[in-house]
Amino acid sequence: MGYSLQQTLFVSLLLQSRKESIVSLEVFEDIGVETPGEGKLAVQSKSTSNGNPVSDRSIDFWKTFHNWLTAVEKGELDPDNTLFKIYVSKKVTGPIAESFSNAKTIAQAKEALISAQTELWGKAPAFEKRSSVALGISAFVEHIFNDDKDLISKIICSFELETGSGSPQSDLRDIFSKLLCPDEIIEDLNKYALGWVKDKIDRAIENNEAAIIKVSEFRTTLVSFIGKRSSKSILSSFARDPDPTEINAERLKKYVRQLEFIESPDDQKIRAIIDFLKASSARTEWSEKGLVFEESFNEFEDNLIRTWKNLRTKTFLNQNNASPSAKGQILYSECSLHRAHLQAMETPSHFIPGSYNALADIEKVGWHPDYLQLLKNDMIDPSENDTSTK
């Protein structure tokens, strides 16, 4: 799943704001931060997909200042207690934007404003270039240059231009790293934080509520996640559910055929395919991250096979009068409910059933009492799919 620049910046601000702050989406600004006793931060996030959003004649740039000035004039934002920021996802420059961002006093702000006016309109009082200003920005700059110079100067004085590296996700991971998060969980933490925030925002919007998240709530959630991961008591995986095409591609595999031998319903076979694919993805993920050693996987598989042998003996003795398919169904269910630790850690619910299906795919385990012979028959006549007599 991809995340927008706006969502990524939202998480960044949650990480960098004070504990008592709240961060909002589309409440008083694109992204807003409110901190008791410290005022507001109004942030506009800009991408560079359509060009430089802070160039001297950028519609985005002048519309942003026009909107800020309008909000101040309406009393929606207090320029004395609001910081105004434009965030661009990668390094860009614009002389006017830079001069506004560098202005730290009212005098410097007014000087930057006059310089911008001269650049776009020409020198006062003739303003010989005024009539040639592009239609896309003319109304915005008319508002800014003709309105109360004190108000717009206050906004400029409180304005900051911030740029990223070009990779918002990398920038976010760097923030996590600076917060002393263990390196081995930064990637998972990054995905978890983005997903958690997106879910909170989506649910608020669906319920027609303001999209607001308390920094304290966000921190508590992350601390809990970090605690679980750092304690190494639980192995987490972000493996996604496979799509229908991927599921259908598995239907001829041996582990699915083994379920057909015991007359498993289609929904059980689909669940088995999902578990198999997610377990395979998780195993690759944990190996690549160095979270689980190869010998630990081997020990885990040995545990599953020993358990299967014991449950097979128990099931077939206790269900002596049951049909072969029924015996296999019971055995498959018992094995799927088995719980085992991998390198002293708990695994996701899909991992053990998925691992059993991986073993079934290489014929190390099976569910039908005669699964080996049935698989052998398939090899002799692969077109034979009639399980009615089995």
CB atoms within 10 A of CB 310: 11
SS3 state of residue 343: coil
| pLDDT at residue 232 in the model | 59
Q: How sure is the predictor about 210, in pLDDT bands with cuts at 50, 70 and 90?
A: very high
| Euclidean distance between CA atoms 175 and 186, whole angstroms | 10
| pLDDT at residue 367 in the model | 98
Q: What are the DSSP E strand ranges found in the chain?
A: 22-25, 31-35, 39-46, 82-88, 159-163, 211-214
Q: How sure is the predictor about 3, in pLDDT bands with cuts at 50, 70 and 90?
A: low
Average pLDDT, the chain: 92
Omega before residue 125 within 30° of 0, cis: yes
| Euclidean distance between CA atoms 41 and 2, whole angstroms | 26
Does position 231 have pLDDT exceeding 50, yes or no? yes
> pLDDT tens-digit profile of 86-118?
999 999 999 999 999 999 999 999 999 999 999
Continuous H helices in the chain: 5-16, 59-73, 95-102, 106-121, 135-146, 149-157, 168-178, 183-206, 215-230, 244-249, 254-261, 266-288, 294-318, 324-337, 351-361, 371-380
Q: Of 334, 346, 329, which Cα lies nearest the Cα of 308?
A: 334
Element (H, E) at 318: helix 294-318
| pLDDT at residue 1 in the model | 36
| Inter-residue contact 276 to 354 (CB < 8 Å) | yes
| Euclidean distance between CA atoms 283 and 359, whole angstroms | 14
- Whether this model's pTM surpasses 0.75: no
Sign of CA dihedral 308, 313, 318, 321: positive
> pLDDT tens-digit profile of 20-65?
999 999 999 999 999 999 999 999 999 998 899 999 999 999 999 9
| pLDDT at residue 387 in the model | 46
| pLDDT at residue 382 in the model | 52
Instruction: Over range 193-214, report the average pLDDT.
Output: 94
Q: Of 299, 281, 207, which Cα lies nearest the Cα of 242?
A: 281
